[in-house]
Structure 1
């Protein structure tokens, strides 16, 4: 014998020899062992079983729910969701009077989406979105735009649905024609830009987007949004940091010409204008590609070192030349020569070679100023042809070979020695003549000799304390010819 107890939330079917015998509800049962028992827990609400077994149930025990494709069902107990039903055939226990089944089509609104309902509905069957204030959306059902979504919380049966969401801060609206047809036209503005037009989108008077030629749609829900359209065949706008940040580099050319510079503007490779110091901006588009070249007009130095040249008398030497120049016509400077420094270098070099080849070494060393004047006469007119003014050109150094330096030093030394000998002889002759004249005067006037001696003694006496003279009586008479009495010998 078998004993069986079924609680209030259980139901069962007795099966004998594979065939359902009867359904049994809550209670105690005793039956022969050759019976099998199939049990269900009615708390699970939805159940399955063999058709022959279910046929044994009383009809008031359950409800059969048939959901077509595109339909969903919710099983509620005490109006609280407890189970989710997908399309198909479902059987739900109805042994409790507070259990109900509600069916929904995909197009029906969802019931209020509570936390309990979120737990019951699988995530793949639920489409939920929060549309922010700066967003707009469109619900697409089976690939067909269905409705427009304004800011707020939205939830839909979602297995065959999807959402398209746009951020209004992006400014530009991009969508398929069938979606655009659903959007209110007051939400956006259509702008068609020709090949020579560009547009800048402003929000709150600040540039936020740059538009190239073509059809553009701009969100206009924000009343502070405006569109400025520019003709690229005219003047470019003054660039601020914000505007510079949004305009692509290839769309505009900006050049800053400093006080000591001049700019040259080219359009499609042709010279267009000279640019004075300041900031300049130009539209750059396929019909007018713009380029700007900036030339430094300050005085620059050119040094031409180690030029080996041969003089008329076959002496090889090296010259170091210098030049100071400044561009005066920037356009001519750029267009006349590829490199103004190289052109000026060559002009000075050739002029120096021509001059040195026509003079001897002595003439060159004696006429360095002549070389400078020759360089000026040759180089200045040539420099003017390529827009350059030469302020100064000249010779910095003349470098002779070592043996030539030695020879020149010897020549100079000999010349100086000869000059010194001439001067010495001239001085000796003058001194001899002076001595002869002095001797002649003293011979004619002996007293002068004595006076000279006394002057000499006086000079000596100033330098010593005492002088002793040893003279005879005759000598004293000569020293003191007018003294009275006789002198005593010392």
Structure 2
């Protein structure tokens, strides 16, 4: 029974060494007597016991490796702390096994050195504004260097870019000054617009006043012209009536009499209000004299 048990266990051990199942997510590197033989894909495989062995197993899924934070110097001599993530995938199991000792550690170290080199080509502001271009440059350089390792770098993502405390303080002052500058520019533009609007209003007001004054003068001129025309027409009508009256018999005598009366009235007013006598005061009584003479004249005419 002991011998049968030993034989059965030996057969199980041989079968275990003979059969190999490779999982779907990996590849197996087989060595025969210490020498590379083949790379087995996922599935069921047979091996030669004690001759073939699985030397390496590699995960063929996409792997994410954390790149620790490191100190970098930008093009404008600014110290930055930068970390990131590198995404890679094993493409060739043989090269991943024999091309380098530890492709994960090598990929992380290569990402760090490449990141320092690429950030050294950019200024501080460019590292923040051009992350996509920086990531593409790092991926391109890492992928080129890692090709002999049988891996493919799919992408690189910068997680954090942290300037030193002094740089952060300087940036805060710079942003505050920029905000103050923008505020002053905005206020200046507002004052400029207000002055322009005010001057435009004053200009429009002056134009309106001048237009109003012009219209006023035109209206006054038209009124004066109309007044002169009316007075002229009235005078013309009056003179026409006077000339008609003069043409009638006795019209001339009536006009003379009216003129004498007006003359005597005016002389009387002048003598009454004047402080200095220019003519004898008795001259103001000539109205009575002329009235008397007129009556005598009418009486004589009646007798004739």
TM above 0.5, yes or no, is: yes
1:17-416 superposed matches below 5 A: 210=8, 247-248=12-13, 252-285=17-50, 288-416=51-179
Q: 2:136 touches 2:155 (CA, 8 Å); kept in 1? A: no
**Structure 1 or 2: larger helix share?**
2
How many residues in Structure 1 have an aligned counterpart in Structure 2? Answer: 212
Distance 1:342 1:371, change over 3 A: same
Local SS of the residue matching 1:307: strand
Partner of 1:420: 183
Q: Distance in 2 between matches of 1:436 and 1:289?
A: 98
| Structure 1 residue 251, shift from structure 2 partner | 6.3
| Structure 1 residue 425, shift from structure 2 partner | 0.9
Question: Which deviations, in whole Å up to 9, do the C-alpha atoms of 1:242-300 show, x marking residues without a partner?
Answer: xxxx5126962543222221121111121112211112242413xx1423532111111
Local SS of the residue matching 1:255: strand
Q: Distance in 2 between matches of 1:365 and 1:372?
A: 12
Distance 1:319 1:437, change over 3 A: same
CA RMSD across the alignment: 3.2
Q: Distance in 1 between matches of 2:185 and 2:16?
A: 86
Q: 1:308 touches 1:316 (CA, 8 Å); kept in 2? A: yes
**Structure 1 or 2: larger strand share?**
1
Distance 1:445 1:311, change over 3 A: closer
| Structure 1 residue 342, shift from structure 2 partner | 0.6
| Structure 1 residue 327, shift from structure 2 partner | 0.5
Q: 1:375 touches 1:394 (CA, 8 Å); kept in 2? A: no
Question: Which deviations, in whole Å up to 9, do the C-alpha atoms of 1:81-108 show, x marking residues without a partner?
Answer: xxxxxxxxxxxxxxxxxxxxxxxxxxxx
| Structure 1 residue 366, shift from structure 2 partner | 4.5
TM-score, normalized by length of structure 1?
A: 0.39
Local SS of the residue matching 2:101: coil
| Structure 1 residue 405, shift from structure 2 partner | 0.3
Distance 1:436 1:388, change over 3 A: same
Greater mean deviation of Cα atoms: 394-403 or 378-387: 394-403
| Structure 1 residue 412, shift from structure 2 partner | 1.3
Partner of 2:276: none
TM-score, normalized by length of structure 2?
A: 0.61
Q: Distance in 2 between matches of 1:421 and 1:251?
A: 82
Local SS of the residue matching 2:149: coil
Q: Distance in 2 between matches of 1:311 and 1:263?
A: 43
Question: Which deviations, in whole Å up to 9, do the C-alpha atoms of 1:432-456 show, x marking residues without a partner?
Answer: 212322333244437xxxxxxxxxx
5+ residue gaps, structure 2: 210-304
Local SS of the residue matching 1:413: helix
Q: Distance in 2 between matches of 1:251 and 1:378?
A: 44
Local SS of the residue matching 2:57: strand
Question: Which deviations, in whole Å up to 9, do the C-alpha atoms of 1:35-94 show, x marking residues without a partner?
Answer: xxxxxxxxxxxxxxxxxxxxxxxxxxxxxxxxxxxxxxxxxxxxxxxxxxxxxxxxxxxx
The structure whose RCO (Cα within 8 Å, separation 6+) is larger is 2
